[in-house]
Amino acid sequence: MKKIITLLILTLTLTSFTKHPESDFSIVGKWKGKYKKEIGYIIFKKNGYAYFKTQEKTLGGKKFTINGEKATMSYEVDYSKEPIEVDFIVKTKKSGEISRLFCIAKKIKKNTIKLQFGFKGSRPTEFNDKDGVIFQKVK
Domain boundaries, the chain: 25-137
What is the per-residue pLDDT for 130? Answer: 82
CB 114 within 8 A of CB 127: yes
- H or E stretch covering 102: strand 98-109
| Residue-level pLDDT at 14 | 38
Q: Which residue has the higher pLDDT, 89 or 94?
A: 89
Q: Are 79 and 69 in contact (CB under 8 A)?
A: no
| Model pLDDT, residue 50 | 98
The single-letter DSSP state of residue 119 is: T
Given the candidates 2.40.128, 2.30.30, 2.120.10, 2.40.50, the CATH classification of the domain at 25-137 is 2.40.128
State which H helix or E strand residue 30 sits in.
strand 29-35
Q: Name the residue with higher pLDDT: 116 or 8.
A: 116
